[in-house]
């Protein structure tokens, strides 16, 4: 099993601008890589870490305990960040981190059905307790048109229609390798010879759809913006263009107003009432050294916003 390496770790710690007595939230605990690094910088401060995956929580508990004691793991979906923190009597925080990559426990365990590298049931649920919709349900019950829309909307799969037609013709599909086989038989030889796994986009689209990831992300970020104390920051690490698009839209909506665009063209300085500002104009990407050492870092980009 590949050793988990947190993506853009040093950059995340730097841009969270950690204070020893601050209150911080890691919305995506995973294996605790980012969380333990944040915790190591806290003295009287507290870390709240959120995850809906019981396997991730179990693995991270011991790791965090070795680093410090001032942390609380909250079992739930980060779409409920405000209420999860309210239950802990926390209504304002100094920083919030989102690492949107699927965590290693999910990818590396065949039974979870996230990976096209292992044969397992077509599940893909991050929350196996409360979410009843599996990837198999989607593949075996959606219409051909609905499947094509999912593959195109959530992964820009150019051969969405052809793959959807092949799935409908072949189903029922019950395992990841059955789905991979259908995709490989559908795609042209020219595409199959290209770098990267031919099933990557379809698996991505299914995972996003099954877990309602985009709506969940949007709701969570909107809550997080309201939770920030003045000077507090949100750091988001994205891994594909759909996440990027939504983060850019949300951040733009709260940092750029029409009056600001007009004011910038005037020869005098006019104060604006922006409550938030972008800390970096362009997203940060991994260094060449990190790319060499961590395969999962290749599509990562980091975005940072601060409450004024």
DSSP 211: T
Residue 97 Cα distances to 23, 140, 153, 161, 287, angstroms? 12, 36, 26, 37, 20
Would the annotation count 21 as a binding residue? no
Type and span of the H or E element at 180: helix 176-186
Asked if residue 239 belongs to a known ligand binding site, the reply is no
- Residue 51 assigned as binding residue: yes
The answer to whether 74 and 90 have CB atoms below 8 angstroms apart is no
DSSP state of 266: S
Q: Is 111 annotated as a binding-site member?
A: no
According to the annotation, is 78 in a ligand binding site? yes
Q: Is 33 within any annotated ligand binding site? A: yes
d(CA 46, CA 297): 28
CA angle 224, 31, 2 (to 5 degrees): 135
106 known member of a binding site: yes
**Rounded Cα–Cα distance for residues 254 and 248 (Å):** 10
The binding site consists of 32-34, 51, 78, 99, 106
The binding site for S-adenosyl-L-methionine consists of 32-34, 51, 78, 99, 106
């Amino acid at each position: 099993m590949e050793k988990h390496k947190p993506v853009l770790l040093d950059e995340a710690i730097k841009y969270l601008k950690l204070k020893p007595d601050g209150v911080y939230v890691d919305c995506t605990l995973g294996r605790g890589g980012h969380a333990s690094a944040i915790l190591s910088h806290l003295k009287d401060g507290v870390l709240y870490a959120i995850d809906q995956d019981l396997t991730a929580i179990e693995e991270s508990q011991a790791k965090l305990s070795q680093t410090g004691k001032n942390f609380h793991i909250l079992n739930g979906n980060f779409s409920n960040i405000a209420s999860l923190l309210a239950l802990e009597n926390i209504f304002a925080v100094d920083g919030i981190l989102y690492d949107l990559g699927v965590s290693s426990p999910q990818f590396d365990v065949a039974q979870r059905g996230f990976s096209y590298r292992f044969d397992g049931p077509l599940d893909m649920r991050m929350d196996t307790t409360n979410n009843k919709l599996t990837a198999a349900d989607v593949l075996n019950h959606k219409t051909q048109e609905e499947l094509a829309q999912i593959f195109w909307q959530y992964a820009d799969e150019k051969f969405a229609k052809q793959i959807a037609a092949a799935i409908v013709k072949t189903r029922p599909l019950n395992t990841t390798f059955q789905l991979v086989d259908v995709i490989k038989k559908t795609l042209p030889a020219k595409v199959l010879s290209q770098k990267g796994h031919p099933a990557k986009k379809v698996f991505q689209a299914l995972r996003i759809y099954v877990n309602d990831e985009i709506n969940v992300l949007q709701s969570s970020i909107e809550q997080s913006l309201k939770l920030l104390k003045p000077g507090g920051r949100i750091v988001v690490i994205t891994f594909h263009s759909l996440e990027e698009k939504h983060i850019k839209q949300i951040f733009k909506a709260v940092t750029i107003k029409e009056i600001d665009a007009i004011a910038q063209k005037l020869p005098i300085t006019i104060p604006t009432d922006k409550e938030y500002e972008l800390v970096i104009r362009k997203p940060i990407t991994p260094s060449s050294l990190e790319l060499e050492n961590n395969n999962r870092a290749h599509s990562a980009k980091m975005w940072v916003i601060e409450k004024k």
